[in-house]
């Protein structure tokens, strides 16, 4: 039975669009190949500086990060030196998702596993959050609430669980990971077909997250150019990315069979994936060596509980030299597990009374730095205006001087201010400075089978020689570029001759479905809204 949905969006989270196009052309992904042969193809670009954490919130609000206010899983709480606990908050963004506007206008919507979204209570339709999503904040929830039990009874729990990171894996454990991702794609396809055909939807979206996890964890098993690539491992395990992409393509093909010929079908890859690059794990130490930030041992605030032993040990561990920290990591992990293995909220790692700036999380590809600004931060040091401008200029110059000692190339491409890119009521909830690492210098590569990272050496006149080891388990990292393919009545096959912003999809979908809502930063995509009469014929 074909669905009568008017707009159907099938998204792949954090896939490499070049690989998708290559494998589609080779026939490895036959369903995407078929869609590309008959559809309109366009390149997409996510939000500059924040494409790791803000892609999906920017997609579903149609607004830039300074307007929706979300850039990372761990964000600073305004007016404090403390970090937010997103798990205790129902809403992640300050602006509403476009499907709320559709719902209030009487449109029937189905919103399934859109990353970094929250449940819209009272939605005119159905919604799932984090049944099978890479980014887990709230845990699996659904609307109506009884839908969660229905999904679990029929389709079970998602095969992988809420996270795919691990300290280290054997080759057999990588194979288990890939097998679970393939099973996850298959079950998600079955779930999608079931929900797509159970009602008459005006708008329907499902996001496949398996490529996201596979890209982060398995890039070194896919790419022969990666420093950690091992021919023997490749012979034993094959190409994990290819296998996972094939599984997603198979699931998409089954879903496509249920999409009516007169519906608008959009395949969307919102942002990309490639090899790991940059040395974000050294940025805090760089700020210390530039003497713009200074470490501190956490003190006991007035009225607060007593400092836990694990907090004190963690503080001492962070003050050790990087090579010593690395050698002691197995002991640190054992102590961590002994204390219960809980992941506390991050702390500042900088003395707010003497630091001119401090690091805030923003993802590995583009580092985030916040100024300790007078009048904004409780113990602000730098005065807004000319003093802050001069500080940013000098810090950017010092950062851009840092070179990779192996190649002599700069390790940082750009340092720029968020306020140069965006305007919005929540600009000050974002980092002030953005440090864009060069992806021409593949630093911090994982060494397979050992759980160790390659040694990174960089230097400049001010930081001298800085050496560190990236021992995080990921070998793949995000890229800003994605793609879309659209097929429907009135859409001519071919290529869009420009790059489409991720902000443009929300106004496109609301306009297609006859909703007059214009408070977006993006603009409707002309090639798609030209078919509005076909899909809004009630």
Q: Are 31 and 282 in contact (CB under 8 A)?
A: no
Residue 192 is predicted with a pLDDT of 98
- Is residue 1 over pLDDT 90? no
More confident residue, 4 or 414: 414
Please give the Cα distance from 479 to 111 (Å, whole number).
25
Mean pLDDT of 351-367: 96
Q: Taking Cα atoms as reference points, which of 55, 15, 464, 441 lies closest to residue 219?
A: 15
Q: Are 241 and 234 in contact (CB under 8 A)?
A: no
Q: Are 109 and 125 in contact (CB under 8 A)?
A: yes
pTM of the predicted model as reported, rounded to 2 decimal places: 0.90
Mean pLDDT of 338-364: 81
Q: Which CATH number fits domain 7-276+477-535: 3.60.21.10, 3.40.640.10, 3.40.50.1010, 3.40.720.10?
A: 3.40.720.10
What the block records as the tokens of 206 is 């499902």
77-99 confidence digits (pLDDT tens) = 989 999 987 776 778 999 999 99
Mean pLDDT of 188-204: 97
- Residue at token pair 């559809």: 39
Q: Are 209 and 132 in contact (CB under 8 A)?
A: yes
Instruction: Compute the Cα dihedral for 246, 248, 130, 424 and give only its sign.
Output: positive
Maximum alpha-carbon separation in the chain: 68
- Is residue 340 over pLDDT 50? no
Return the minimum-mean-pLDDT range out of 118-122, 286-290, 338-342, 522-526: 338-342
Residue 169 is predicted with a pLDDT of 87
pLDDT band at 305 (very low <50, low <70, confident <90, very high): very low
What the block records as the tokens of 167 is 């300290």
Please give the Cα distance from 205 to 109 (Å, whole number).
8
Q: Indicate the SS3 state at residue 386.
A: helix
- Provide DSSP, 188-256: HHHHHHHHHTSS--SEEEEEE-HHHHHHHHHHHHH-TTSTT--HHHHHHH--HHHHHHHHHHHHHHHHH
Residue 324 is predicted with a pLDDT of 59
Return the minimum-mean-pLDDT range out of 114-118, 137-141, 278-282, 321-325: 321-325
Please give the Cα distance from 484 to 28 (Å, whole number).
18
The separation between the first and the last C-alpha atoms of the chain, rounded to the nearest angstrom, is 21
pLDDT band at 307 (very low <50, low <70, confident <90, very high): very low
Residues of CATH 3.40.720.10 domain(s) within the chain? 7-276+477-535
What's the mean per-residue pLDDT of the chain?
89
Mean pLDDT of 14-41: 98
- Residue at token pair 């099978």: 132
């Amino acid at each position: 039975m074909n669905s009568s949905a008017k707009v159907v969006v099938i998204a792949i989270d954090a896939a490499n669009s070049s690989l998708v196009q290559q494998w589609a052309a080779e026939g490895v992904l036959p369903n995407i190949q078929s869609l590309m042969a008959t559809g309109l193809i366009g390149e997409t670009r996510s939000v500059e500086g924040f494409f790791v954490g803000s892609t999906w919130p920017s997609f579903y609000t149609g607004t830039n990060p300074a307007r929706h206010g979300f850039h990372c899983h761990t964000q600073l709480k305004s007016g404090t030196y403390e970090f937010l606990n997103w798990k205790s908050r129902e809403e992640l963004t300050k602006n509403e998702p476009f499907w709320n506007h559709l719902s209030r206008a009487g449109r029937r919507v189905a919103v399934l596993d859109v990353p970094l979204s929250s449940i819209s209570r009272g939605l005119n339709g159905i919604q799932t959050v984090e049944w099978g999503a890479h980014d887990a904040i709230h845990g699996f929830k659904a609307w109506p609430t009884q839908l969660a039990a229905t999904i679990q009874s029929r389709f079970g729990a998602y095969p992988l669980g809420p996270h795919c990171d691990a300290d280290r894996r054997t080759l057999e454990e990588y194979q288990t990971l890939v097998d679970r991702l393939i099973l996850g794609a298959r079950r998600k396809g079955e779930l999608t077909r079931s929900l797509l055909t159970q009602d008459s939807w005006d708008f329907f979206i499902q996001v496949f997250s398996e490529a996201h996890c596979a890209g982060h964890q398995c890039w070194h098993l896919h790419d022969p150019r990666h420093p950690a690539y091992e021919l023997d491992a490749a012979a034993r395990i094959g190409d994990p990315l290819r296998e996972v992409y094939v599984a997603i393509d198979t699931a998409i093909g089954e879903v496509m069979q249920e999409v009516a010929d007169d519906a608008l079908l959009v395949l969307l890859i919102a942002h990309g994936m490639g090899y790991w690059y940059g040395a974000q794990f050294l940025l805090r130490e760089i700020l210390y060596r530039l003497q713009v930030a200074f470490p501190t041992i956490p003190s006991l605030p007035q009225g607060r509980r007593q400092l836990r032993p694990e907090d004190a040990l963690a503080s001492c561990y962070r003050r050790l030299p990087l090579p010593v920290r690395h050698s002691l990591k197995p002991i640190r992990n054992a102590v961590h597990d002994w204390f219960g293995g809980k992941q506390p909220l991050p702390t500042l790692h900088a003395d707010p009374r003497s630091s001119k700036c401090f690091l805030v999380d923003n993802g590995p590809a583009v580092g985030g730095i916040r100024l300790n600004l007078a009048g904004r931060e409780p113990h602000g040091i730098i005065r807004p205006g000319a003093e802050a401008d001069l500080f940013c200029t000098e810090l950017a110059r010092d950062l851009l001087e840092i070179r990779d000692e192996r190649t002599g190339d700069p390790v940082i491409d750009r340092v720029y201010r968020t306020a140069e890119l965006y305007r919005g009521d929540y600009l000050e909830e974002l980092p002030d400075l953005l440090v864009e690492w060069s992806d021409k210098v593949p630093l911090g590569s994982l060494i397979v089978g050992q759980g160790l990272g390659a040694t990174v050496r960089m230097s400049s006149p001010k930081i001298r020689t800085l050496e560190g080891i990236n021992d995080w388990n990921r070998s793949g990292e995000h890229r800003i570029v994605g793609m879309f393919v659209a097929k429907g009545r009135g859409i001519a096959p071919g290529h869009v001759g420009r790059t489409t912003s991720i902000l443009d999809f929300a106004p496109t979908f609301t306009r297609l479905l006859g909703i007059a809502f214009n408070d977006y930063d993006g603009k409707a995509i002309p090639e798609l809204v030209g078919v509005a009469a076909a899909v809004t014929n009630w």
